[in-house]
Structure 1
């Protein structure tokens, strides 16, 4: 018998209310996670530059693991939401169960791949001597935890898929705060050093996973129930969305890597210092938008499953309008506060040398934010309606094609130096956002025709 929960009622109700109520918990969760990432770096920095470098060397590999886990989580969230919209309880149960099983299997494969190869990967990245030793100490612990990382992300995606973003937020927030608290204890009190940072991360993920497992498997007051069974069709739907979502996240890292190269060419070490600092501020500004994007996937997925084009269209457009207002507001704050923000990164005598460049970069890259919702939320809508390939294409277009191309053109063709990288990123994002949004509108119209044709046949 189907059990109605607060989340499923939200997903099946007014899409504007659903977008707001599902977005707020995820915005909070993303904010706390951002604070944790900052605090984690600060605690490790106390061990010295080699320790900080060792984590930096493993970071791209860790992001690949997280990208795969988050991608499967997006696939699980989308398919569960679609089945809820269809009022297909058995299908939602299968989607949740198979997603969890897939996360564990993928995690075990991850251990088998990375454990014997991690030393060679780190050496190829330039690690040697004490830095390599520290990187191996840190990374080996996290590699053994890959199944846990996979489970945590995918199970969180299942909760989001059934509209339970409140508990998804609680799991992320509790885990992040626990990590912040455990870092100094394990690193400095227990004197585990770099291993302490890894232990703190694993234990915080384990506790977060325990909370989700308790809700899903023991308390059992969620919409989905877990069952043994197999559906190749549902597995295909999860992978059709999840694999492109994973690849899309990976392309973002590739794009930043290439933009780093352009920045070094245009501005040297001071240029990369400016880019690294400003991009952290811009990423912080996108936190509420990322939270909303997760809600868009669930709400449009439920509307698609319900075959309700009005709800689907309303959810997409309302999210874009609200996200645009948020983007403009954050942009205005950055424009006015740029001198103060720049001082945070230039309080040392050496840092003052890049102060003016930081202010300029903040004011240009702040213009990046208003265009983000048009592309990001349309990409999330594509994921919600099962068009994972389209979501991947628009992400590649924004990051690899547009931003990289325009930055290259400004720096190497027009010879605009460092400022060309900033304008290239802004212009590339604006052009790709416009194309993506128009594509999204045409897609909604084609879905509408598909629904009408199926009703008449």
Structure 2
């Protein structure tokens, strides 16, 4: 048997334990916020239907804003990982410092605009003055956490870039854990009600953001704003925001069409969609590992290692997706009953369930390659590919489904076409190798 040489593909592989060492803590960070929201919902739910509706609407608005600004994490990871791979850790952390300044600036703008627009936007979305009033009372307090949320997002970005996903998990769990204990105290014994939930949210974000800022200060890098770096981050951010908007348009349209189909359809869609989003977090943890590893390889000047790692992580995504397909196919007779006992909803769920099950291997590959291309800084391609898949696949099929009465099956057919189009584009890009541009900073 030939010996493994320094130039062989095997030598360029990353040990599976290293990939898992990045992916598992990243999954913890991704899951921490949804789990905290569940605790928050359980606490507020005992106040009655109106406060719960207000929390749902206010929380959805705040989440929508923070979701659109994830470029502060993904874009920072891509740039920091390259610099880290090139042996320039101080410059990699410096990307985090500039992203933190940008997070504070954008967060203050969000805070100001949010205070002005909270009432009209909440009323427009709910159509019910009572629900809108409750949502606004929660949102106007919670918005003070917006700059802190974005600082945490930026902190996750640079730490992932230097291949540290353990500290972000500790920081996020510290904030959310303390707040989860504080929330019921403020809501009930203190008597602040729904507003107590909002205060607990701000406390959580203050703790997490404070820990990220302290970690940044301890790195002893230059913290002064550097406009040129911020402009470069904004350029990458523009592409990622447009990509995120394409996702939001698809997801909102799917819910809207389900709601116009029947009560059973929207209930069934909600159950299956929440499971889809949960598994997306699981698969996205591999994408985060891919971002860090691919960016570092390209920063070190090794396009070959980047391609090997890309293939390796994509294979992991495919295997994990196939495993999820088997598990959730087996759970089909029992798992939906954990979410609802309504006979009509349970009868409708299979119209979406088998799409959801069959799409897991596709999602495993797509999300892994998203991470590869994001790590390479290939955001412009991802923007264009996602917009094309949304405009040519998902959105037309969803609204045709509404017009022709195809129901939930039509909605999930649209999602399937969207995912298959994304699969074809990212696989073609991966195979082309044009994404593998080496250097501490992407120049093409």
State the TM-score, normalized to the length of structure 1.
0.86
- Cα distance change on mapping 1:131 and 1:408 into 2, 3 Å: closer
Match of residue 361 from structure 2: 370
Instruction: Tell me, yes or no, if structure 1 residue 236 matches structure 2 residue 231.
Output: yes
How many angstroms apart in 2 are the aligned matches of 1:254 and 1:68? 12
Alignment of 1:141-290 (within 5 A): 141-217=141-217, 220=218, 222=219, 225-228=221-224, 230=226, 232=228, 234-265=229-260, 267-290=261-284
How many angstroms apart in 2 are the aligned matches of 1:405 and 1:50? 35
Cα deviation, residue 133, structure 1:
2.1
Match of residue 110 from structure 2: 110
Cα deviation, residue 360, structure 1:
4.1
- Cα distance change on mapping 1:345 and 1:67 into 2, 3 Å: closer
How many angstroms apart in 1 are the aligned matches of 2:127 and 2:201? 22
Which secondary structure state, in structure 2, belongs to the residue aligned with residue 40 of structure 1?
A: helix
How many angstroms apart in 2 are the aligned matches of 1:246 and 1:381? 18
Which secondary structure state, in structure 1, belongs to the residue aligned with residue 163 of structure 2?
A: coil
How many angstroms apart in 1 are the aligned matches of 2:326 and 2:403? 30
Structure 2: gaps (5+ residues): 1-10
- Cα distance change on mapping 1:31 and 1:103 into 2, 3 Å: closer
How many angstroms apart in 1 are the aligned matches of 2:249 and 2:189? 37
**What whole-Å deviation, never above 9, does each CA across 1:63-94 have from its counterpart, x for those lacking one?**
33212442112222211111112223453243
**What whole-Å deviation, never above 9, does each CA across 1:221-260 have from its counterpart, x for those lacking one?**
x5x724325251x333322322322332333222111112
- Cα distance change on mapping 1:16 and 1:405 into 2, 3 Å: farther
Q: Quick one: which of 321, 332, 341 aligns to 1:338? A: 332
Cα deviation, residue 354, structure 1:
1.7
Instruction: Tell me, yes or no, if structure 1 residue 395 matches structure 2 residue 389.
Output: no
RMSD, aligned CA: 2.5
How many angstroms apart in 2 are the aligned matches of 1:145 and 1:253? 22
Match of residue 314 from structure 1: 308
How many angstroms apart in 2 are the aligned matches of 1:299 and 1:237? 21
Cα deviation, residue 22, structure 1:
0.8
Matched residues, number = 429
How many angstroms apart in 1 are the aligned matches of 2:414 and 2:23? 30
Show structure 1 runs of 4+ deviating over 6 A. none
Instruction: Tell me, yes or no, if structure 1 residue 299 matches structure 2 residue 293.
Output: yes
Which secondary structure state, in structure 2, belongs to the residue aligned with residue 117 of structure 1?
A: helix
Instruction: Tell me, yes or no, if structure 1 residue 385 matches structure 2 residue 376.
Output: yes
Task: Answer whether contact 2:12 2:309 (CA < 8 A) is retained.
Answer: no
Alignment of 1:33-182 (within 5 A): 33-182=33-182
How many angstroms apart in 2 are the aligned matches of 1:326 and 1:411? 33
Cα deviation, residue 411, structure 1:
5.2
How many angstroms apart in 1 are the aligned matches of 2:300 and 2:105? 31
Match of residue 20 from structure 2: 20
Match of residue 324 from structure 1: 318
Task: Answer whether contact 1:402 1:432 (CA < 8 A) is retained.
Answer: no
State the TM-score, normalized to the length of structure 2.
0.89
Task: Answer whether contact 2:123 2:129 (CA < 8 A) is retained.
Answer: no
Q: Quick one: which of 401, 410, 423 aligns to 2:413? A: 423
- Cα distance change on mapping 1:382 and 1:139 into 2, 3 Å: same
Q: Quick check: 133-142 or 420-429, which moved more? A: 420-429
**What whole-Å deviation, never above 9, does each CA across 1:380-400 have from its counterpart, x for those lacking one?**
222222222222223334445
How many angstroms apart in 2 are the aligned matches of 1:13 and 1:134? 55
Task: Answer whether contact 2:247 2:390 (CA < 8 A) is retained.
Answer: yes
Match of residue 7 from structure 2: none
Cα deviation, residue 14, structure 1:
5.2
Task: Answer whether contact 2:54 2:135 (CA < 8 A) is retained.
Answer: yes
Task: Answer whether contact 2:376 2:435 (CA < 8 A) is retained.
Answer: no
- Cα distance change on mapping 1:439 and 1:290 into 2, 3 Å: same
Task: Answer whether contact 1:57 1:127 (CA < 8 A) is retained.
Answer: no
Task: Answer whether contact 1:255 1:400 (CA < 8 A) is retained.
Answer: no
